[in-house]
Structure 1
Amino acid sequence: MLRAGLGETWRCTLANDFDPAKAAAYRENWGGDELVVGDICALDAKDLPGQADLMWGSFPCQDLSLAGAGKGLGGERSGTFHAFWDLSRALIAQGRGPRIVAIENVCGALTSRDGRDFEILCRTWADAGYAFGALVINADRFLPQSRPRLFVIGVRGDLDLPQGLLSAEPVEPFHPIALRRAVERLPADLRGRMHWWRLPTPAQPSLSLEAATEPDGPALRWHSPAQTARLLELMSPLNRAKVDKAVAAGGRHVGALFRRTRVEGGRKVQRAEVRFDRAGCLRTPGGGSSRQTLVIVEGGRVRSRLMTARETARLMGLPDSYRLPASYSAACRLTGDGVAVPVVEHLARHLFEPLLGMDGAARRAA
């Protein structure tokens, strides 16, 4: 999805993932001569050719997520960030430091271990001699999916920073209060070196949740009436009122439903929550609560079913021509782990390419 977002003016010199299903999908769509399948810890600087204009890392979020065990960057999975930066340091030592180094992860990285992990991230760029800044971009600025993500982007110290790309103060929507508080908690030396990247605010999403859904047909597998009734029973009065309002309005309405555990009256209860404007954040299919459901209201009838793999791909900004894994679980794992395509497009067009002074020549990314 990163490659799709960067577009054809960029040339990928190395890609890496350890998931065989994701690797197979990559090859189906991009060829894959530059793809290395395996643990990033097994890579060496000699495996990375030349000098990249952009080095991007999207590393596992489980240890940084609010739902995780709180191990942060010291955890086995999110700790692969360190392996990523070990490669960057080795390239820098060889005089091949990437011009831009960027990472993407969940916003839990801002508060993980009382902010120590965000400090580690910032300190890493600073110690490497990179100018750096952070952004929080929610995919709902581009797509009908709520998917806020943290992006930390560093620029090699010998490169000029165009003043038009910098803001003297944090500004909405990409510098929200959670990011500003995380920066305020940084030691003074790091706080003073933080840049506020300036990006234009995108227009409203052109794709609606209803437009992202597949047309009714025999291939769709609907829940039984009893299953749909059970989902409605799990709704709070507020969420049930949303469904009732859609029924009363007539016409066709498409909502996205996901399950959450709430504390009510001192005890945990499972609730079904629904929105008719956007989906919740797509996740990997690790359990029933992570698999989103569509609620279709039409002609006074309420039906429900799981999202299809293609629908999850559309919510990530992938075109229908993108070949997904045949397995539903593998396809949803791919999309749930991904970065939204139009978010990358926005970063490339309004930050990466201006920083690099792109003049139409292809750029190299690893």
Structure 2
Amino acid sequence: MMGEGGNMDSAPVRAAEFFAGIGLVRTALERVKGAQVQVVWANDIKQAKYNAYAANFPDAEDHFIVRDIRQVEAMDLPQGIELATSSFPCIDLSLAGNRRGLVGEQSGMFWEFAKIVEGMSPRPSVVLLENVHGFATSHGGNDLAAALARLSKLGYSLDVLAIDARHFVPQSRPRMFIVGIQKDKLPASAPQELPPISDVRPAWVQAIHKKHRETLDMHYMRLPALPEGPQDLDGFVETEVAGNLWWTEDRVAAFIGSLSELQKARFDALVGADAISYRTAYRRTRQGVAVWELRKDSIAGCLRTTGGGSSKQALIRLGNGSRAIRWMTPREYANLMGAHDYKLLAGTPNQQLFGFGDAVVVDVVEWLGNNYLLPVLRPNNGSE
């Protein structure tokens, strides 16, 4: 396929980032082999997220539109978009949310994304959607079925897969992805049959394919095995922070006092260990009482948007008879989202925590870019 002035295979993939947030999808796509993806348009409704994005991407003012997506039209996008990404809000789909599904005020923004794609000419060759696993079960699976049907009507063959970010960073963050490829762009390497069970397509994902393959165009791409991922927080936590970030002894005592017997035994064992280790903890409500719970493993729980104490994650440093506790920092959130080099120049600490908790893990999207998106969009340009 030829573009103006040259071979399309040698030109960067032109991408549009819907629900761009603080720009971690762009961060990931720019790491794809040979910088072969270029984000040329982005949108989000929140000025604070634009500010963080602009602090990291000086060209933001040229292509980032701060606007409610319901006020965005296809004509607002530049021509030649080949890839459209959409990490639309998950609050109505998440098990921790209100479960209103795609009729909800937030997650219902999927329909606005689809409406814009419908109006684009030509439509993007590939769309990449990301959301929580709860999307698969929302309203008994009917929300996902409706979304897949809508994308199918736009000419896309569809693939569903699931990736937990813990394969790349020490954070448990399971997410579901939908990849749509325009049917005339579907490569021969994408079988239109039931995918085998694998680490990216466990049995529940295979069941989605099986349910819809008779009525919709479905495919899958053969992908390499996911890496094992780090097993602890070394290299991701800040070992030197201001002393006033660590909790007072009274607050630490209150934390310990809220632990169950099992949790307290786990805590004490780590305090008595010869080596320093880190654990994370969330505040939960059990039988109407607020308690703290440590993770069994040495990685972080899923980072969330900050909206109260239960949504923030505490970091515990234990060992050699000592213990210290504090809230996790924005830099640690950035590291756990695969954005070690992200500049924390804009917004308050809470806005920064919110931005990362609402984002995608860079390494996951980069892996999809290298192993899935680029082989489809630039099959003759050295991608494997």
TM-score by length of 2: 0.86
Deviates more, 1:79-88 or 1:314-323: 314-323
Whole-Å separation in 1 of the counterparts to 2:190 and 2:372: 10
Q: Secondary structure at the match of 2:235?
A: helix
Q: Secondary structure at the match of 2:56?
A: helix
- Sort the Cα spacing of 1:286 and 1:321 in 2 relative to 1 into closer, same or farther, 3 A: closer
Q: Which residue of 1 aligns with 2:87?
A: 58
Structure 1 residue 247 and structure 2 residue 268: aligned?
no
Q: Which residue of 1 aligns with 2:326?
A: 305
Amino acid corresponding to residue 158 of structure 2 in structure 1: F
- The partner residue of 1:273 within 271, 288, 293 is 293
TM alignment of 1:176-191, pairs within 5 A: 176-186=202-212, 188-190=214-216
Structure 1 position 268, deviation (Å): 4.3
- The partner residue of 1:100 within 126, 139, 144 is 126
Deviates more, 1:202-211 or 1:152-161: 202-211
Structure 1 residue 235 and structure 2 residue 259: aligned?
yes
- Sort the Cα spacing of 1:162 and 1:322 in 2 relative to 1 into closer, same or farther, 3 A: farther
The superposition leaves residues 313-359 of structure 1 with CA deviations (integer Å, 9 ceiling, x where unpaired) of 00000023533534111100110000000001100000000011255
- Answer yes or no: is the 8 Å Cα contact 2:158–2:180 preserved in 1: yes
Whole-Å separation in 2 of the counterparts to 1:187 and 1:196: 11
- The partner residue of 1:113 within 134, 139, 158 is 139
- The partner residue of 2:161 within 135, 154, 171 is 135
Could you list the structure 1 runs, at least 4 aligned residues long, displaced by more than 3 angstroms after superposition: 164-168, 180-188, 267-271, 358-361
Q: Secondary structure at the match of 1:111?
A: helix
Amino acid corresponding to residue 64 of structure 1 in structure 2: L
Q: Which residue of 2 aligns with 1:216?
A: 240
TM alignment of 1:321-340, pairs within 5 A: 321-340=342-361
Count of paired positions: 353
- Sort the Cα spacing of 1:165 and 1:215 in 2 relative to 1 into closer, same or farther, 3 A: farther
TM-score by length of 1: 0.90
Structure number with higher relative contact order (C-alpha < 8 Å, ≥ 6 residues apart): 1
- The partner residue of 1:144 within 170, 174, 180 is 170
Structure 1 residue 2 and structure 2 residue 25: aligned?
yes
- Answer yes or no: is the 8 Å Cα contact 2:91–2:107 preserved in 1: yes
Q: Which residue of 2 aligns with 1:357?
A: 378
Structure 1 residue 295 and structure 2 residue 316: aligned?
yes
Structure 1 position 167, deviation (Å): 7.4
Whole-Å separation in 1 of the counterparts to 2:376 and 2:213: 27
- The partner residue of 1:49 within 78, 94, 109 is 78
Structure 1 position 10, deviation (Å): 1.4
- Answer yes or no: is the 8 Å Cα contact 2:272–2:320 preserved in 1: no
- List runs of 5+ in structure 1 lacking aligned partners: 362-366
Amino acid corresponding to residue 51 of structure 2 in structure 1: A
Whole-Å separation in 1 of the counterparts to 2:218 and 2:208: 11
Q: Secondary structure at the match of 1:256?
A: strand
- Answer yes or no: is the 8 Å Cα contact 1:296–1:304 preserved in 2: yes
Whole-Å separation in 2 of the counterparts to 1:217 and 1:128: 51
Q: Secondary structure at the match of 2:283?
A: strand
- List runs of 5+ in structure 2 lacking aligned partners: 1-23
- Answer yes or no: is the 8 Å Cα contact 2:87–2:130 preserved in 1: yes
Q: Which residue of 1 aligns with 2:15?
A: none
Structure 1 position 159, deviation (Å): 0.8
